[in-house]
Amino acid sequence: MAAGSSGGGGQLRSKSEADSGFLGLRPTSVDPALRRRRRGPRNKKRGWRRLAQEPLGLEVDQFLEDVRLQERTSGGLVSEAPDEKLFFVDKGSKDRELNKKRTKGQKRSLLLKKPLRIDLILENTSKIPAPKDILAHQVPNAKKLKRKDQLWEKLVKQGEVPRDVRRAQARLLNPPVAKAKPGPQDTVERPFYDLWAKDNPLERPLAGQDTFFLEQTKKKGVKRPPHLHTKPSQAPAVEVTPAGASYNPSFEDHQNLLWKAHEVELQRQKEAEKLERQLALPPAEQVATQESTFQEMCQGLLEESDEEGELGEGQGKDPEAGADNTGGAKASAMPARLAAVEKKTERQRQREKAARMLRVQQAAVRAARLRHQELFRLRGIKIQVAQRLAELARRREQRRAQRLAEADRPRRLGRLKYQAPDIDVQLSSELSGSLRTLKPEGNILRDRFKSFQRRNMIEPRERAKFKRKYKVKLVEKRAFREIQ
C-alpha cells in the first residue's frame, strides 16, 4: 500500500507539476494571489486592464497571438489547412542525381538567379494580403460618368455617335492634305519687298477684310497710341551753324558770332561773381576764432547766475511775504473756479433756448430774402458768367501760346538743367583762307549728345566723378633709395 500510495502520490505530483509548471514559471501560470476575485466596476477602463491581466484574459491574448502568427506564416490556420499543404512526398534521390549531373555553368546560372540575403531579409514574409486602398480605386464623379456611359450605350444602339467619334471618322474618310514645306529653291526665287509698304505680299490676303474679323482672328496689328507719333520737341535734329562759323566768312557775320560768344562769356562771369559775393564774408564781421566762439557759447550764462543769486537773497530776507502772496493767489483762484462750475437756473436755460430759436428764424428769413433778391440780379449774373467765360478763354489761349513758345525749348527731365554748348568760333587771327589749313572746332559726338538733350530725348547728364575707395600709399623702393 505504501508503495502503491507512494507511486500514486508520484503520479499525482507529476500531473500537478505538469499543469502548474516548474516553480510556476510557465507562460500560462498565474500567481495564486491573483486568483482571488477582485471586486470593482467592469465597464470602466480600469476594469478592462484588470480583466486583461486575469488568467482568462491572458489565455485569450495568447490564443489571438497564435492565430495571427499562423496567418502571417502560412496564410491561415494550420488546423484548417488541407493535407497537401502540410505534407509532401520526399523524392530526394532523384534531385540529388540531377544536382550531380549539372555542369558548372548550370550551377553558376542557378547561383546568379538565387536572390541575395539582404533582399530576403527585406522581403515581406507575411502571407496576409495588404488592405485594399479604397481611395486609390475611387474615381471622381463615378456615378455621373457611369450614367453618361449608359446613356451613350443607349444612343449608340439607336444610331447616334458622340461628336469626337464623328470627327475622328470624318478625319479618316477625308484625311488632311500635308502642306509642302518650302525648299531652299523657293526661298531663293522669292522676290524682295518692302516690309513696311502697304502693298507688301503679307498683307495682300487681308486686304478688304472686315476690321472686326481681323481683330477677332488676331491678324490685325495693335494700333499705336497717337502720342507715339508726335515728336517730343519741334526743334530740328541738325541745326544749321551761323554764317560766321564758315571757314571764310564775311566780316559782319564773323563779328556778330564773336559778339554772341562774348555775351555768353560775360553772363558766365557774372554768375561766378554773384556766387562769390553770396559766399563771401560780410565786411562788418570778422573771421570766427576759438576765443570768440567760446564767448558766444557762454553768453547769458553769467547774467542768469547773478539773477538767481538775487532771487535767493530776496527770498531769504522776507519769507513771510512770499507765503502771504501764495496764500492770496490760492484764495483768488477758488472763487473763480466756483463761479465757473455754478449751475444755471431753469429761467436762464429757457432764455438761452429762446435766443437760439430766434437766431435760427432770423437766419432762415435772411436766406429767403437773399434768394428772392437773386431773381432781380439775373442780368448782372449773366454778365458775370460771360466775363468768367471770356477770362477762361483768354487764359486757355495764353497757355496754348506759351506751350507753342516752349515747344522748341528743352524741358526739365531730371535733376540737372540743360546747358547750351559753347559756340564754336575762331578768332580773327585763327581764320585761314583754305580748307587745308583750317583748324577743326567742336566734336561731332558731343554735338549729337547735346542735340538729344535739347530735343527732350534724353535727360541732361554729367560725367560720373571718379572716387577712389582706398587711400593711395606712396612707397619708395629700396633700389631707388640706395641710388640716392
Distance CA 218, CA 211 (A): 11
Question: Is residue 10 within 8 Å of 16, Cβ to Cβ?
Answer: no
Question: Is residue 228 within 8 Å of 413, Cβ to Cβ?
Answer: no
pLDDT value of position 304 = 55
CB burial class (10 A; 0-12, 13-18, 19+) of residue 152? middle
pLDDT value of position 8 = 43
**Which residues of the chain fall below pLDDT 50?**
1-27, 319, 321-323
pLDDT value of position 327 = 53
Angle at CA 29, nearest 5°, toward 26 and 30? 145
Distance CA 329, CA 335 (A): 11
Question: Is residue 237 within 8 Å of 455, Cβ to Cβ?
Answer: yes
Distance CA 255, CA 262 (A): 10
pLDDT value of position 469 = 82
DSSP classification of residue 273 = H
Question: How many C-alpha atoms does 276 have within 13 Å on its Cβ side?
Answer: 6
pLDDT value of position 18 = 43
Which residue from 419, 420, 423, 421 is spatially nearest to 258, judged by alpha carbons? 423
Question: Is residue 460 within 8 Å of 418, Cβ to Cβ?
Answer: yes
The backbone region for 166, taken as left when phi is positive above 0, alpha when psi lies in -120 to 50, beta otherwise, is: alpha
pLDDT value of position 147 = 92
pLDDT value of position 117 = 87
What's the predicted TM-score (pTM) here? 0.39
pLDDT value of position 265 = 94
Which residue from 239, 243, 267, 268 is spatially nearest to 257, judged by alpha carbons? 243
Residues 6+ apart with CB under 8 A from 28: 21, 55, 58, 59, 62
Distance CA 134, CA 130 (A): 12
> Chain centroid to CA 70: how far?
62
pLDDT value of position 341 = 63
Distance CA 250, CA 255 (A): 9
Q: How many CB atoms lie within 10 A of CB 285?
A: 7
pLDDT value of position 442 = 85
Residues 6+ apart with CB under 8 A from 54: 30, 34
pLDDT value of position 324 = 52
Distance CA 445, CA 459 (A): 16
DSSP classification of residue 226 = G
100 is written with which cell numbers? Answer: 550531380
